[in-house]
Amino acid sequence: MSGDARSFEVPLSALEKDTSKDYVSRLQLLFREINFRYVAPLPPSTDFLHSYHNWIHNTLGPMTSWTTSQLDILEDTTFTIAERPYPFADIEMKAIIAKLTALVIFIDDSLETNTVGIYDEIGSFAHHLLMGESQPSAILELYHKCIKELVHLYEGDAVQRGLATVPWINFIDGCLLEKRLFTMDAELRASRYDMGYQNLAKQGHSGIDHAARDTSPGAKIHFPLFIRHKTGVGEAYAAAVFKSTKEQSLPLSRYIMAIPDMNFYIVSMPL
């Protein structure tokens, strides 16, 4: 086979050629039908860039063992996530989205790299949050603080506030669940992080006869998406589209039906 790139091209059918020619006019027709009006986004805010850079390196950085290079990559990634999808959001909204995104990336990475004690610390996050107690580590305390800041930005609508904040708490549970799945004992069909694991290990009890089984052909299809809904924070990112500033008060009933599709798209992208 020739190494010429042209040898890998797939010929277009006549219909595909016709479609490729008029897709612009089709899009223009769609935009006219939905009364779409393009508004150019504002250029990236230098104030946001500078303040966020300072937060990454002077607030988050000292709490981690990450190198300057790793922090720079984290900054670029999370700045982009906060800037591009929310071009009309003010600095306060962009900053909290970027900070929370940076923290979840760091927390997830800590679990993957088996940082000593991190599982137990993260496992107690929800308990300390609900009981109004201090978190066991500086990172989790900062995460808790950022969630509270987000709550204040969504004052006024309880449902909208829940959509925007609860997924950041559920993310923690999703990370813990993923960790258990990656540390399953194939013979005992349980993770060392599961309650009762030590008793099973002492008894040499096999879970083959008693473990829960898939009850439907779609179980292996739906479960990964369930995990992504836990860890993807999709509802929170979707809700932020409709909250550019603390003062903005769009009627939730006008856009709530778009949230499920937006959430599905957001959490499915990394799959």
Q: What is the mean pLDDT of the chain?
A: 82
Residue 175: CB atoms within 10 A of its CB come to: 23
Structure tokens at 83: 């800037």
Give the pLDDT score at 111: 82
Q: What kind of architecture, by CATH, is found in domain 45-186+216-268?
A: Orthogonal Bundle (1.10)
Give the pLDDT score at 188: 76
How far is the C-alpha of 122 from the C-alpha of 39, rounded, in Å?
A: 42
Mean pLDDT value of segment 56-76: 96
How far is the C-alpha of 268 from the C-alpha of 271, rounded, in Å?
A: 5
Mean pLDDT value of segment 120-148: 93
Q: Per mean pLDDT, which range of 7-21, 214-228, 256-270 is the poorest?
A: 7-21
What percent of the chain lies above the pLDDT cut of 70? Answer: 82
Phi, psi of 206 (to 5 degrees): -85, 140
- Burial (CB count <10 Å: 0-12, 13-18, 19+), residue 201: middle
**Amino acid code (one letter) for 41:** P
Give the pLDDT score at 18: 52
Q: pTM of the full predicted structure? A: 0.76
Q: Per DSSP, what are the bridge partners of residue 184?
A: 191
Which are the contacts of 63, defined by CB distance < 8 A and separation ≥ 6? 138, 139, 142
- Is the pLDDT at 1 greater than 90? The verdict is no
- Is the pLDDT at 151 greater than 60? The verdict is yes
Buried b (16+ CB within 10 A) or exposed e, 242-268: bbbeeeeeeeeeeeeeebeebbbebbe
Q: Which of 226, 248, 230 is nearest to 239 (CA)?
A: 248
